[in-house]
Structures are given as C-alpha cells and as structure tokens.
Amino acid sequence: MALVYRPAAEELTMLDYINDITNFLAVASERSFTRAAAKRGVSQSALSHSVRSLESRLGVRLLTRTTRSVAMTEAGERLMRSITPRLAEIEAELAAVSEMSEKVAGTIRITAIDHVVDGVVWPRLEGLLHRYPELKIEIGSEYRLVDIVADRYDIGIRWGDQVEKDMVAVRMTADQPMAIVGSPSYLAEHGVPRTPQDLLRHNCITLRLASSGGLYAWELAHEGRPTEAKVTGQAIFTSVFPMLKAALSGHGLAFLTKDLVLPHVRAGRLKQVMAEWCPSFPGLHAYYTSRRHPTRALTTVIDALREPVADGDVAAQ
C-alpha cells in the first residue's frame, strides 16, 4: 500500500510534519494515547488531533482505535518500520553536531529493573546532576525486555546474557550470585529444603514475567548442571521489592539476587538455603545501539555507570 502525501488546506512546515510522525510513533510504541501523551508531555486531545491530522494528510488510517486498545493498521506498521531507523539516523547526526560542544547537556533516558535502579544505577549517577546542571536523566523501571531503539531509550541496563549482540555493552558489575531465602519463622514451621524437588512442596514467592505473562521458573544449577524448578505459592508479584518484603514477613521462600538479601541475612531476618544449588547470573551491563554516535552526555553517563561506587555497591564487589 503506497503512502501518498496529501497537503492539508494550510501547508505545514517540515518540523510540524516530523512532530506529527513522532507523536504517531509514540502512540504506536505505547499502544495507548494516555501513556503516549504522558511520555510526550502533551495532552491526550492534542496528541489525538496530531495523529488524525497526519492520517488525513497521508489519506490512510494508521491506527485502529477502540475504547480499550490501540492497534496499528498495515499502513501504520509500514510507516513505523520505515521511519523509526531514519529518525534514529537524524538524531545520531544531531548528536554528532552537538558533540562538538564541550557542554554535558541534554536528556539521557535509561531503562532498568527497579532494584537495579535503586542499588546500582542511581548511586552512580546522582552526583552527575550536581556537576552538570544542563544534564537530565530519566530512568524507567521496567521488567520487560525493552527495545531501546523502538522505545527511544538511550541506555538499557540488563544482565549480560540479555543484551543483544548488535549493541555496544559496558560491564557494570561482577557476575551476580543468586540466593534462596526464607524467614527463620517460616523455615522453623515448614522445614529446610535440600533439593529442587523439596521446593515443590514449599510455599514459594513467585514472579510474573512481564514478557510472557508466565511464572518465572527458578534457574538453579548443581555441580555445573542446570535445572529449573517450576515452583508455586500463594504470593505472586511483578517486581522484586514486594517479593523481598513477603519473604521477610514469613510468607514463603524467595529466589533473589544475593546483593538484595545479604543485609537481611547478616542481620538474621532471613536465612539462605540450598546455597550449592544457586548459580551466578552474568553481571549487569549498560548498553546502547552501535548505530548512534555517542554524545558527550551519553559518554559521561556511561563512564559513571562503569565505575563502581566505593561503599555499599554490593553487586559490583
């Protein structure tokens, strides 16, 4: 289906045209006018008008709207596929020109998991805001594997085995050991598990995966042999902080990164079990697309993420 440009009664500037396309891409990415409007910092009505104006000028419907959802039409899918990399190229060229300035300025958007933001990312970056008043850092806490190009993030932060091969990746931490933990009261009442089969008889605090919607199977290993434990339990969450809180309250066993539980283990609020079955995950990596020219702001943020904080950064030790 060919996309034909049909001028409106009042000719718009190219900047207006690009703005409408960018608004469309935001709605297409978020599958929601409400979320896209918040992301773009405009009203929902203004965003809807912008997209309708673009559809009118092109002479095709780009989005199918219902009361509950937004989906792309065939024309919308084509426009998104063709325009997204071209806008990325424009941004890269603008960034290259901006790099000629000595200023560390602009907005760097980062996506990471909540406890990684809290324990690793923010401690390394907060000092930059005092040092560079014209730098802005926006951090999104998401558990799904984000496409940083499509969702217009500058940096993604994930475990090493989750980083795509075409990305430029910088290691932030050493490999991260995992731990199975429970409260002393829970273990006193239900016993201490010794094997993955024992876990199936326990009340386990589970994680609902944002990507598939299924429950996370605990990835264990013994003497180099990996195995999965498809545990179940009464409490199911979509992030790790409530899982930790539930374990501390005696509601079951949790499988969490050791840096998150170690202070509570040392204080006696939690006990680690089955340590010989708990593997280490590849360390955290900050990554960005190899197709863009790194700005001075991006380089500054990456350099800060690469350096471990002197005290308290357990994950990097």
Residue 120 has pLDDT above 80, yes or no: yes
The CATH architecture of the domain made up of 14-84 is Orthogonal Bundle (1.10)
Confidence class for position 163, pLDDT limits 50, 70, 90:
confident
Q: pTM for this structure?
A: 0.64
* Torsion angle in degrees (nearest 10) through CA of 28, 30, 35, 40: -60
pLDDT of res. 315: 41
**Structural contact between residues 209 and 216, judged by C-beta atoms closer than 8 angstroms:** yes
Say which CATH architecture domain 176-281 belongs to.
Answer: 3-Layer(aba) Sandwich (3.40)
pLDDT for 30: 84
14-84 and 176-281 have identical folds:
no
The domain limits of the chain are 14-84, 99-175+282-316, 176-281
CATH assignment of 99-175+282-316, given 3.30.70.100, 3.40.50.1100, 3.40.190.10, 3.40.50.300? 3.40.190.10
Residue 234 confidence (pLDDT): 96
pLDDT greater than 60 at residue 34: yes
Instruction: Write 57-64 long-range contacts (CB < 8 A, 24+).
Output: 57/5, 57/6, 57/7, 57/8, 57/12, 57/17, 58/3, 58/4, 58/5, 58/6, 59/4, 59/6, 60/1, 60/3, 62/24, 62/28, 63/24, 63/27, 63/28
Kindly tell me if the per-residue pLDDT of 314 is higher than 60: no
**Region of poorest pLDDT, from 118-132, 136-150, 265-279:** 136-150
- Can you give the pLDDT at residue 36? 86
Cα–Cα distance between 317 and 315 in angstroms, integer? Answer: 6
> Residue 5 above 60 pLDDT?
no
Asked if the model's pLDDT at residue 78 lies above 60, the reply is: yes
Question: What's the pLDDT at 99?
Answer: 60
Summarised one tens digit per residue, pLDDT across range 195-246 is 999 999 999 999 998 877 899 999 999 988 999 999 999 999 999 999 999 9
